[in-house]
Amino acid sequence: MLLKTFGWSMALTAVGFAAAGFLWGWSGLAVVAILSILEISLSFDNAVVNAGVLKKMNAFWQKIFLTVGVLIAVFGMRLIFPVAIVAITAKMGPIEAFNLSINHPDHYKELVTAAHPAIAAFGGMFLLMIFLDFIFEDRDIKWLGFIERPLAKLGKLDLLSVMVALVVLVVASFTVAKHVGHGGGDESSTVLLAGILGLLAYLVVGGISGHFEEQLEEQEEKDEEEEKEAEASGRKPVSAVGLAGKAAFFMFLYLEVLDASFSFDGVIGAFAITNEIFPMALGLGIGALYIRSLTVYLVRKGTLDDYVYLEHGAHYAIGALAIILMITIEYEINDVITGLIGVVLIGASFWSSVRRNRNEAVAGGDGEGGSGAGPGPSEPAAVTSE
């Protein structure tokens, strides 16, 4: 399973490292390796969230995610995106911006850094909406019940996620966006506009995806009824094949926008290591390959079903990343800190899942049984609400 899922990533890593060593020497190889590790550490929570969406899609669209999706992630976000940002913000042509990135990397870095407030506001709002919609939804399984229970009750208010996100955006525009960078420039209007665009992007893409997800749930309920009828009549039941067609396309689009939002901090943080666009794209691209492979591995192994708090931990990490992105509009936060926050939250949720499974196994052995819909009866109250 590991070789089948990660084989392409390992092979392309070997090719990429060999190319880096040949083109840029040992120093270039070291830069590419560091950037690969940086991307993986910053985007592990992305893999967990992606897996929650990808498992609803059929095998064909899962392959599309691994092939076409990787090309978009590597060439689109890690190579073309920084050039496009410079072209837009500096009001120059894309070819001129690309030439600038190759011939004048220091000036190119300055222009990308100058665009950071808009990038952070857009990505921060998109990720914040993902977290808020998750935390305000009433779920059968709760990880941190003392937080999630009251928030689920508040979540019954219409458009609460949007209202909270807008409040965060307004506060950011009048605080961290007032004195940005060494020049102390006012980026309030830029942050407001970019944040609203990020919010709109989530509402449009997420709304369409959510519509098709609801259709899928209705279809699943219908399939369950048909399977019961088929079993009762002795006919062979027909299994569902997952999202396909338009539904899968919009889910795929949602995944790509989600990946773009996660990649913002990695692309910006990469400039602290190198100004060279090609080593940067190669290193971040290799990291993106492993994140994609990890997503598919989680789906094929059914990890999210076995470790039910992983999605919770990933969404908490998303919420933390959203706030960090907003703070970095004015203040610099080391990428190591950003990556560690995500790793710690996901690690804690994984350990809680292991404890839950262990307690359910003990309870089942005692004849009390534990349903897969919630934590076992002996789970500590500090960890779950059930």
The answer to whether the pTM exceeds 0.75 is: no
DSSP string, 18-37: HHHHHHHHHHHHHHHHHHHH
**CA angle (35 as vertex; 33, 40 as ends), nearest 5:** 100
Q: What confidence tens digit (pLDDT) does each residue in 286-340 have?
A: 888 888 888 888 888 877 788 888 889 888 988 888 898 899 888 888 777 877 8
CA dist 289 and 69 (Å) reads 10
pLDDT at 214 over 90: no
Judge whether 40 and 48 are in contact, CB under 8 Å.
no
CA dist 246 and 53 (Å) reads 15
pLDDT, mean of residues 88-98: 82
257 to each of 122, 175, 287, 315, 324, how far by Cα in Å?
11, 27, 17, 16, 19
Q: What confidence tens digit (pLDDT) does each residue in 372-383 have?
A: 444 443 343 333
Closest to 6 (Cα-Cα) out of 289, 282, 303: 289
Closest to 131 (Cα-Cα) out of 7, 299, 315: 315
pLDDT at 351 over 90: yes
pLDDT at 181 over 60: no
**CA angle (238 as vertex; 232, 239 as ends), nearest 5:** 120
Where residue 223 falls among pLDDT bands split at 50, 70, 90?
low
Closest to 160 (Cα-Cα) out of 131, 193, 139, 192: 131
pLDDT at site 132:
92
Judge whether 56 and 242 are in contact, CB under 8 Å.
yes
Q: What confidence tens digit (pLDDT) does each residue in 113-164 have?
A: 788 888 888 888 988 998 998 899 888 888 988 888 999 888 888 889 999 9
pLDDT at site 379:
40
CA dist 302 and 169 (Å) reads 37
pLDDT at site 304:
77
CA dist 300 and 249 (Å) reads 20
CA dist 174 and 195 (Å) reads 13
Torsion 340-343-348-351 (CA) sign? negative
CA dist 110 and 126 (Å) reads 25
